[in-house]
Amino acid sequence: MTRRSPFLAAALLTLIAPHVAKAQVPVALRAAARARNLAVAQADTATWNKLTSDSFTVVFPWGQFMKAQRSAEIAHQQPFANPPLQHERFQAVGNAFLHRYEIQNGAFLEVWVRERGAWRVATVQATALDPDSAAVQQAITAANTRFVDAFKRGDAATLTANYTDDAVLMPPNMTAWEGRAGINQGFTSFLSQFSLVDARLATKDVIRSGDYAIERGTYTWTLHPKTGTGADIVDSGKYLTVWQLQEDGSWKIARDINNSDRPPSM
């Protein structure tokens, strides 16, 4: 006998189940839904686990995860501002409720059930919404502006926050900086030796593929040595940056490489 998953059964019932008026949705369910979304943003695994069924599964575009896997992932992420839910609606399916909403570039379908006297999420289906290329490039341009501002301030922590946990930065003439710790150490060391006087980044093109965007661009910058009497260093070159879409709709750098246009010294 073939068994259907709870998500498949719920999805089939959406064809016949009526949407529920706002007043008919249990107050406790609405409160639980808000608390669970906030828990994800704040990396609050205690609240998230309390509002999530033990048999929970989530399906992202990049794979399926069980409760323990997803909980560990939330625990290790950086907290972010809780984005507003768009097009939110609830739908009754028997004794369960479907909770649909969008967050920037993602659409979510949660199945809420009563379990041990409380509302908990049994399964989640997440779907990426493909924004147009102009919107992606606009987001990258804004991120680059914040990056340059942080560089001028000598703010290694903010620079590092632009990168994913497993990012790799490959600067010229030195070994790669791997992971947040390695990248933070690299920026801290660099900023102890130089200050950024001026810099300009120019995006030449962006290639979008699913949750990744590949940016090709050029840079010009002026560095001031913090020790000695050496002259300012003026440089220009090109870079290739791989951006990864995050759950909160922002873009962070997964891979980063640049090199100078100046001829090598003999």
DSSP string, 147-179: HHHHHHHT-HHHHHTTEEEEEEEE-TTSPPEEH
Determine the Cα–Cα distance for residues 169 and 254; give it in Å rounded to an integer: 8
Q: What is the residue extent of each domain of the chain?
A: 6-128, 133-260
The one-character DSSP state at 22 is G
State mean pLDDT over 103-119: 91
Q: Which of 125-139, 168-182, 247-261 has the lowest mean pLDDT?
A: 125-139
CA dihedral 116, 10, 57, 44 (to 10 degrees): -60
Q: Which of 36-40, 123-127, 155-159, 206-210 has the lowest mean pLDDT?
A: 206-210
| pLDDT value of position 23 | 56
How many other C-beta atoms can be found within 10 angstroms of the C-beta atom of residue 88?
Answer: 14
| pLDDT value of position 20 | 54
Residues pairing with 259 in the sheet: 238
State mean pLDDT over 70-81: 91
Global pTM?
Answer: 0.55
Q: How many CA atoms lie within 13 A of 14 on its CB side?
A: 15
H or E element, residue 184: helix 179-193
Question: Phi then psi for 263, rounded to 5 degrees?
Answer: -65, 150
Distance of CA 112 to the CA centre of its chain: 25
Q: How many CA atoms lie within 13 A of 130 on its CB side?
A: 8
Average pLDDT over all residues of the chain: 88
| pLDDT value of position 134 | 75
State mean pLDDT over 115-120: 96
Q: State the architecture of 133-260 in CATH terms.
A: Roll (3.10)
Asked whether 10 and 98 are in contact (CB, 8 A), the reply is: yes
Distance of CA 137 to the CA centre of its chain: 16
Q: Give me the percent of the chain exceeding a pLDDT of 90.
A: 68
Q: pLDDT category, 78, cuts 50, 70, 90? A: confident
Domains 6-128 and 133-260 belong to one CATH topology:
yes
What is the CATH topology of the domain spanning 6-128? Nuclear Transport Factor 2; Chain: A, (3.10.450)
Residue at token pair 């989640």 = 124
| pLDDT value of position 252 | 94
> Position 230: which residue type?
G
Please give the span between the terminal C-alpha atoms of the chain, in angstroms, as a whole number: 76
pLDDT (tens digit per residue) in 143-186:
999 999 999 999 999 999 999 999 999 999 899 999 999 999 99
